[in-house]
A and B are shown apart, each in its own frame.
Chain A
Amino acid sequence: MGPVLRRLEDESIYIIREAIAESQNPVLLYSIGKDSSVLLHLATKAFHPVKLPCPLLHIDTTWKFREMIQFRDRMASELGASLLTYTNADGLKKGINPFSTGSAHYTSVMKTEALKQALDLHKFDMIIGGSRRDEEKSRAKERIFSLRENGHRWDPRSQRPEFWKLHNSRLLPGQTMRVFPLSNWTELDIWLYIHEENIPVVPLYFAAERPVVIRNGSLIMVDDDRFKLGENETPQMKKVRFRTLGCYPLTAAIESEAETIPQIIDELFVSGNPERSGRLIDHDEPNSMEEKKVMGYF
């Protein structure tokens, strides 16, 4: 492994160990995507030969790609990790869904609220997640150990300064800490590392013929029969792949020929588009990620 990936790996393992050591009740947020796969791989390495000393938590909106859920269950059983899943039952009962509810409200209820409910239910104090600073401008400003006030709110104006490897993880009652071991990884680093370490990822990242419709200029995959087709919409087969994975109706695919990791890396070197541009929820309004984070979103 070259110095770039080596240094990232060392840094991430240090952060994961530090979070677990300082926590009374830690959890690792697992969203099934490539970043989560790398995070889980690093966390496993950090404690080898001992088993990962915290559970995984997946917030299930019930609208994830089917392949994601299959992959999640396979990974959990292979690793022997304890996997917790949580769905906002109240939101489900009210029929909140990504098609008719509006993406902002849907995300708020089924993702942000669901996450807060799950964290409160289990009383987790340190929540380790796979966010990266190169994903989005408000994430670019966030600390590695990022304090959440009562109600999981993020206050971007008063982040605790952190220097070198010194992190202040002291918590008052009601406060929690989000910890981001992958802060300094880029999308390219993630793929290079997955390649180097042979880390399994959901096949949706690789180009294949998939049924898609074009909505507002985005390629949306028809993943199950809950997809309500518009009058003039007919799914067509296109060779596409996903750069990020979320809820299938809100995650745009890109047309691509990249069927292998080296081909993805090749594609990234010439790519001129940011990775999260395929996430429709990020573009609800200007600064929308920042607003979501303030409210407690990851």
Chain B
Amino acid sequence: MSKKSFRQAINEALRQEMQRDPRVILMGEDIAGGQGGTAGVVDAWGGVLGVTKGLYTEFGANRVFDTPISEASYIGAAVGAAATGLRPVAELMFVDFVGCCLDQIMNQAAKFRYMFGGKARTPLVIRAMYGAGFNAAAQHSQALYPLFTHIPGLKVVVPSSPYEAKGLLIEAIRDDDPVIFLENKVMYDDEEEVPDEPYSIPFGEANLTREGDDVTIVAFGRMVNFANEAADRLEKDGISCTVVDPRTTSPLDSATILECVEDTGRLVIVDESSPRCNMATDVAALVAEQAFDALKAPIRQVVPPHTPVPFATVLEKLYLPDSARIESAVRSVMAYKKAKQDA
């Protein structure tokens, strides 16, 4: 056990699974990094933000390879490799690039098990960076997990910390279905204690990072940290919050969300993806339909505006949900008084 960054935790998960299972291969743009040029430098980058660094040197060119800048071809190749016996981990770099290869994911990988009568397995992991706050502009900052969550046949993981990332990525690699694993690029240097040994965290089981009586906050990915900050501040004022990290948006641990709302009677959902048809609307619908009687106040969503992610630093900061906005949403549901029925 030692302190590891989000980046190191992901690197360690890849390394340990590659050591354990020779069928695990990595492919993506610049993930080996450097050896394609004329400078003779090998393993220089390890992906644009250094997540796969060192793996090319350890496992060689047969298991870690750079692909052409053609998502349609290499994601398609990864899907085929998975269907025929390998366990590829393909890196899409920025998730925003999924538009170039959505058919391979949505119409092929996601459908194989269903359309081949349960006889096909597609043990594919697609890793990609998501999220705003990195000043990377509108085409490199989206949080597209609702897009994948919408597609039956895909599993979608949004880890919230280094410990979570390692265990969930190992689970993803061992899973026999296609898994989309989304890493918030602002979190790569976040650190916490992570076991040195391999371990796996099951999908579809929410983690409660805080437990309280007054308000349930459901948050995804990086937003879990903001929700924890808000909950800790509110605790000092006597407002105690449960913070639910669903870990995976598909499958979604609806049971835990509903139980927490039954306990607290109030719900705030924090989602950094665009607000129409996102996880916040999904969870709000779930609770409105199945826990309506438990609600003491309207459900509040803390989400960005329905616009592309701005490039200007000041506007990008305004765009993203933060702990202050979560705190004020919690205070607003606490202050809510129901109008008299007969008034």
> Does A pair with B?
no
